[in-house]
Amino acid sequence: MSHSQEGSSINNKEISHLKNEYIKFTEFLCSVIGEDKFKKSKFWFFQKQLSKLHELDLTDQKKLLSIINKYGRILPIFEGDIDYLKSNLLKIVAGSHTYSNLSESHNDFYFEFDMALRYLLGKGKRKINITSDCDIIIDDDIAIECKFLHGENGFEHNIRKAEKQIVNRIESGLAKRGFISIDLSQLVSGKDIQNFIDTIFLEFLNQNKVLGLNTRDSHSQIPHNKNFQKIIAGYINQNIEYYYYKAKKTYKHFKLDPRVCGVFFQYEDTFLLDSEELATGLPIRIGCYDINKRYIAENQFIDEEALKKEFHSLANGI
């Protein structure tokens, strides 16, 4: 379905919440870098665009909401008692004043904050260190190296580099074990996912019409329908697992060090539920994991089920 003409708007009740969280983040950012620098940054550009959201076409609305959802979400990192490197915060300020900036290097530093957030919002109080040479260290136990992949050719290189970094952290006494975290958002086809969502959404919409539900109510109900969520999540899970394991086959002779637990991989984007009459934004963030068999085989004291639960809690943390 196509519904991208100017003047059409995304009709989300949650948009006001996303706006408020983003404004809080920009207020914090302004207090750190100063008003002059802030008003020259992409974040000021996004804030101005947000004030005229409904004047944008649907494609740009979707991209803008995806951005403000991401940055508003990481504010708790800076509100708590977590130590972070100001230099890394300044690096996420960099970047062009465009919606499509996934290829730019500031995404690497954003991903580190985003991964730390999964632990911050998880169960139990954890000691989160994002000030060392390692991207993240949890409880002086787990070293996490985060890689935001910018192209297919960098897959093996980033896995090998992250593994070496984790081993160095362990041998330096900073951690006892570790895992690699990668973001595949730029590599998995968002177009294929959107086409699938269009088909499933239309099916649910037609069923709701038969049951007497009007279009506006359907737009409110369907994103929260558990069956709809399972279908969409299952499809995206299959796609990112397919991409990951296909890429992994290209370096099948490379074995991760037995001190590396495995690889956590995620995908994030915002999609449209478009009925021609209305459109609703659907933010999606899904994580999967691949446990290193050598870690299990060579560490007999490891409880594999407990490790699976640990990864699973990260994948479902937010």
Quote the pLDDT of residue 261.
Answer: 97
Q: Which of 303, 271, 261 is closest to 170 using CA atoms? A: 261
Question: Per-residue pLDDT tens for 278-312?
Answer: 888 899 999 999 999 999 999 988 999 999 999 99
Quote the pLDDT of residue 313.
Answer: 87
260, 171 contact by CB (below 8 A): no
Give whole-number Cα distances, 145 to 91, 112, 137, 222, 252, in Å: 17, 8, 9, 37, 21
Q: Calculate ∠ Cα 182-185-186, nearest 5°.
A: 110
The tally of CA atoms less than 13 A away on the side-chain side of residue 238 is: 9
Contacts of 252 (CB under 8 A, 6+ apart): none
Question: Per-residue pLDDT tens for 74-133?
Answer: 999 888 777 777 788 888 888 788 877 666 678 888 999 999 998 888 777 788 888 876
State yes or no: pLDDT of 2 exceeds 70: no
Q: pTM for this one?
A: 0.89
State yes or no: pLDDT of 184 exceeds 80: yes
Quote the pLDDT of residue 134.
Answer: 65
Q: Which residues pair with 130 in a beta bridge?
A: 84
The rounded mean pLDDT for the chain is 87
